[in-house]
Structure 1
Amino acid sequence: MHKFYMSVTHIKFVPKQEVLQITMRLFIDDLQFELNTLNKTTIELATDREPKKIDSIYMNYLSNNFSVEVNKLPKNLTFIGKEYDSDMAVFYLEIPKIKEIKNIRIENNILNKSFTDQKNIVKFNINQKQKSFILIKDKLIALINY
């Protein structure tokens, strides 16, 4: 385990495609620890022993710990895929059928159950405006009005 605990999430609105693109980067060892603790399992991530159903395990975890509201309406995440980059798990998600964004609300509880000093950085690129938040266990929500 390392001495700092963080994730980085990029959220980008692509108006021409009417889609909200989400890229999330987490340390593999932290994610493995959290999943095993919550599910009382001993899975190994990013190895040849990784469960075949890992994508559904990931989607279940992400859906339960990361939520998005656009224009005050809850939105479902679509899991596009994942890859491993060195010691990071990178998740690609999106929310289709978004015509415009007047406000967006993110609740990010990723890895907070296992690591009390977890910091979840959320970077927005919406309507040609960039904004960043650092979310912690006591402040899980980022809200922006446009």
Structure 2
Amino acid sequence: MNKYIKNSILAAIVLLVLSFSKEHKFYLSVSEVNFNEEKAAFEIIGRYFIDDMQEVLQMRYDKELSLDPEQLSPNVDFYLERYFAQKFDLRLNAQKQSLNYVGKTFKGDQIVILLQSEAIDDLSGKPLEIENKVLMELFEEQKNLVHLRMSNLKKSAVLISGNSVLKLML
């Protein structure tokens, strides 16, 4: 079994186990960064615990903000877009790529964030950097697992405070 599949299975098991507990002491997120060949764009799917995301948004923007799907604050998308613009970066050839906030969904005790880059002309031979500092200002022990998938490339990394960038040459 290749390393990517093992890491994906491990991350899924960890998130599943943690989702059965109201109190979780492991701070882990999982983000998939996939290159869509047809759109020539990166599509990003990030999974985070709702209570952690709510806490960071309350700390930064609005103490009354609610991410409870039953009582969702009306300005949640505005704050999520703003937060992810500051905490999740994709750089190609040292140039920051514009990431559009597509939206959010809820699955159990997790919020799933969807981002997409603008169309990218040429990737070959260029350095790519993925920086994920989501929730790191809230939890010192936060770990952000990133899976990158492109046509013939699969790479995974655990990003932590002080080492929050995945770097590779395409």
- TM-score tier by shorter-chain length is over 0.9
Q: Deviations over 1:92-131 (max 9, x none)?
A: 1100211232321111110011111000011000242100
2:33 corresponds, among 2, 8, 11, to: 11
What value does the CA root-mean-square deviation take over the aligned residues?
1.3
Task: Answer yes or no: is the 8 Å Cα contact 2:45–2:115 preserved in 1.
Answer: yes
Task: Answer yes or no: is the 8 Å Cα contact 1:104–1:144 preserved in 2.
Answer: yes
TM-score by length of 2: 0.81
Q: CA deviation at 1:40?
A: 5.0
Q: Does the residue aligned with 1:17 lie in a helix, a strand or coil?
A: coil
The alignment of Structure 1 onto Structure 2 pairs a total of residues equal to 146
Distance between the aligned counterparts of 1:79 and 1:43, measured in 2? 19
Distance between the aligned counterparts of 1:52 and 1:40, measured in 2? 12
Determine if the alignment matches structure 1 residue 106 to structure 2 residue 130: yes
1:1-146 to 2 correspondence within 5 Å? 1-39=23-61, 41-101=63-123, 102-146=126-170
- Between Structure 1 and Structure 2, the one with more strand by share is 1
- Between Structure 1 and Structure 2, the one with more helix by share is 2
Moved over 6 A (4+): none
AA in 1 matched with 2:164: L
Q: CA deviation at 1:54?
A: 1.0
> What percent identity do the matched residue pairs reach?
28
Tell which has more relative contact order, 1 or 2 (C-alpha 8 A, sep 6+): 1
Task: Answer yes or no: is the 8 Å Cα contact 2:65–2:76 preserved in 1.
Answer: no
CA radius of gyration, larger in: 2
Q: CA deviation at 1:19?
A: 1.1
Structure 1 unaligned blocks of 5 or more: none
TM-score by length of 1: 0.93
Structure 2 unaligned blocks of 5 or more: 1-22
Q: Deviations over 1:33-80 (max 9, x none)?
A: 111122251212033332212111100010111111123211111111
